[in-house]
């Protein structure tokens, strides 16, 4: 058994790029669900908005407005085009998406938002897969060629490995930028939550009518939370697309939303550090068990009669499922959650 490889994958899960994508999305979902009580089952759509906001701007719209044969000849440099793409992906598309989801549903009961978010997320993914607009959206193959500008800024040698040989150059750069974004995002969230604004969100989560009777515009606050949480999701999705150098519809299937949910519940909804810890542990366990089982099968620690190498993928999800059941039974508040607070639900 190669214990070194197992430890390596665990550490990578704890601090690596996937942790960053999902932690950012989980921070957003925490604003939605943990603090405001909004049931958003379409966080993948916000992630897709971030990814496609950048990819469409740079890869599809860029040539249309920049080339000699395009509609306009604006001659925007690649660098600026990337910056505009980041802006579109973080500040425009997720905001529009949140308004689309929120305007019809936020005046209604919480379950309506849940239905609409899951439907919109799937509708967007299926639309992006459609070959009808292949020339613009890249259909099911997705869009590439937008991350060059980002990696050009990398001070690391793409051929070398860094940080205890964990990451190759480009990944190292992505992880560092990701950690900076994550640190700023988490601090920002912490500041928001301990302010009177955060207090209103919590009040709305507890009882919307009470907040309204005290003069708080519940609809507006719910919308603000939906938009802001969506922006965090978009940042996660954008970094994910940059990591893959590809924005592809099937990277934003419903499973992605539920991974974000798992990370949030695992860490503890309604806590500042919960989403971060949840995402880290989720990927450490998911990747750690994968490598461990593969090693065990390969070295005949686990005989073929019990499990073959091809079954490892399924078995590790069973283990995650088992872990979640145990969590729900013994620590329903998540890792950082407050048990006392959780117990108040039953009253």
Partner 1 sequence: MIDEFREGDELIPDAGPPTGDGTATLGDIAFVEGVDPERARAQLADVPWEAGAKKPDPILVATNVVRRFGGLTAVDVDHVEIQRGVITALIGPNGAGKTTFFNLLTNFDSPDEGHRVFKGESIDTVPAHKIADRGMVRTFQLTKSLSKMTVIENMKLGATAQTGESMFKSIFPFLWKGQEAEIEAKADDLLRHFKMDHMRNEFAGTLSGGQRKLLEMARALMVEPEMVMLDEPMAGVNPALTQSLLGHVTGLRDQGMTVLFVEHDMDMVQEISDWVIVMAEGRIIAEGPPASIGQNQDVVDAYLGSSHDSALDLEREL
Q: Taking CB under 8 A as the rule, which mask of x and - marks residues 55-74 in contact with partner 1? A: --------------------
Binding string, residues 305-344; x marks residues near partner 1 by CB under 8 A = -----------------------------------xx--x
Question: CB of 25: closest distance to partner 1 in angstroms?
Answer: 20
Picking from 120, 112, 48, 43, the residue whose alpha carbon sits closest to that of residue 275 is 43
Using CA atoms, how far residue 144 sits from 137, 181, 245, in Å, is 10, 23, 6
What distance in Å separates the CA atoms of residue 218 and residue 221, rounded to the nearest whole number?
Answer: 5
With respect to partner 1, which residue has the nearer C-beta, 219 or 244?
A: 219
Identity of the residue, 217 or 314, whose beta carbon is nearer to partner 1 in the bound complex: 217
Asked if 214 interacts with partner 1 (CB under 8 A), we say yes
Q: Are 239 and 174 in contact (CB under 8 A)?
A: yes
- Tell me the torsion sign for CA atoms 98, 41, 20, 204: positive
Least distance from partner 1 to the Cβ atom of residue 235, Å: 17
| Interacting span for partner 1 (CB under 8 A) from 39-47, 122-130, 141-149, 212-220 | 212-220
**Cα 75 to Cα 81: distance, rounded to the nearest angstrom:** 10
Q: For residues 234 and 249, what is the distance between their CA atoms, to the nearest angstrom?
A: 14
Sequence-ordered alpha helix ranges (H) in the chain: 3-15, 17-29, 43-55, 62-66, 78-87, 93-105, 110-129, 134-137, 148-152, 169-193, 196-206, 208-213, 218-244, 254-267, 274-298, 312-330, 339-343
159 binds partner 1 (CB under 8 A): no
Q: How far is the CB of 289 from partner 1 (least distance, A)?
A: 34
- Show the binding pattern over residues 249-288: x = contacts partner 1 (CB under 8 A), - = does not: ---------------------x------------------
| Rg (alpha carbons) of the chain, rounded to whole number | 21
**Cβ–Cβ under 8 Å, residues 246 and 6:** no
Residue 215 touching partner 1 (CB under 8 A):
yes
Instruction: Match 């603000």 to its residue by tokens.
Output: 224
In the complex with partner 1, which residue's Cβ is closer, 203 or 282? Answer: 203
Would you count residue 106 as binding partner 1 (CB under 8 A)? no
Count of beta carbons in the 10 Å neighbourhood of residue 107: 11
Q: Which pair of tokens denotes residue 124?
A: 């967007």
Burial 122-154 (b: 16+ CB within 10 A, else e): bebbeebbeeeeeeebbbeebbbebbebbbeeb
Q: How far is the CB of 49 from partner 1 (least distance, A)?
A: 20
- Residue closer to partner 1 by CB (options 9, 36) is 36
Out of 43, 137, 224, 291, the residue judged to bind partner 1 by CB under 8 A: 224
Compute CA distances 149 → 59, 205, 213, 239, 303, whole Å: 12, 42, 51, 13, 48
| Nearer residue to partner 1 within complex by CB, 218 or 246 | 218
Q: Print the binding letters for residues 165-204 with partner 1: x by CB under 8 A, - otherwise.
A: -----------------------x--xx--xxxxxx-xx-
Contact 238, 135 (CB under 8 A): no
1, 184, 210, 273: residue in contact with partner 1 (rule CB under 8 A): 210
Residue 86 CB, nearest approach to partner 1 (Å): 21
Q: Which of 213, 300, 310, 330 binds partner 1 (CB under 8 A)?
A: 213
Residue 212 lies near partner 1 (rule: CB under 8 A): yes
Return the number of the residue (14 or 99) whose C-beta is nearest partner 1. Answer: 99
Looking at beta carbons only, is 68 or 340 nearer to partner 1? 340
Helix (H, G, I), strand (E, B) or coil at 297: helix
Q: Which residues bind partner 1 (CB under 8 A)?
A: 188, 191-192, 195-200, 202-203, 205-207, 209-218, 224, 228, 270, 340-341, 344-345, 347
């Amino acid at each position: 058994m190669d214990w070194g490889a197992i430890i390596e994958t665990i550490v990578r899960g704890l601090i690596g790029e996937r942790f960053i994508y999902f932690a950012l999305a989980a921070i957003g979902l925490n604003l939605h669900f943990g603090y405001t009580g909004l049931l958003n089952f379409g966080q993948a759509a916000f992630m897709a908005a971030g990814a496609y906001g950048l990819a469409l701007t740079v890869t599809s719209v860029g040539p249309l407005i920049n080339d000699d044969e395009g509609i306009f000849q604006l001659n925007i440099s690649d660098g600026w085009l990337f910056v505009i793409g980041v802006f579109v992906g973080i500040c425009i598309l997720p905001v529009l998406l949140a308004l689309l989801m929120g305007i019809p549903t936020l005046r209604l009961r919480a379950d309506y938002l849940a239905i609409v978010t899951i439907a919109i997320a799937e509708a967007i993914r299926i639309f992006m897969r459609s070959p009808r607009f292949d020339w613009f959206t890249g259909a099911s193959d997705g869009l590439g060629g937008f991350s060059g500008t980002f990696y050009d800024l990398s001070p690391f040698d793409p051929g070398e490995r860094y940080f205890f040989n964990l990451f190759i150059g480009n990944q190292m750069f992505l992880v560092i930028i990701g950690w900076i974004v994550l640190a700023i995002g988490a601090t920002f969230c912490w500041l928001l939550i301990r302010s009177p604004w955060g207090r209103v969100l919590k009040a709305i989560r507890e009882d919307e009518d009470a907040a309204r009777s005290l003069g708080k515009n519940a609809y507006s606050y719910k919308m603000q939370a939906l938009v802001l949480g969506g922006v965090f999701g978009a940042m996660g999705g954008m970094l994910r697309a940059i990591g893959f150098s590809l924005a592809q519809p099937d990277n934003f299937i419903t499973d992605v939303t539920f991974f974000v949910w798992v990370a949030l519940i695992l860490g503890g909804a309604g806590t500042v550090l919960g989403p971060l810890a949840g995402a880290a542990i989720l990927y450490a366990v998911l990747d750690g068990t994968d490598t461990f089982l593969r090693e065990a099968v390969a070295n005949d620690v686990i005989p073929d009669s019990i499990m073959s190498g091809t079954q490892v993928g399924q078995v590790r999800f069973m283990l995650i499922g088992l872990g979640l059941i145990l969590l729900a039974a013994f620590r329903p508040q998540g890792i950082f959650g407050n048990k006392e607070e959780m117990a108040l639900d039953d009253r």
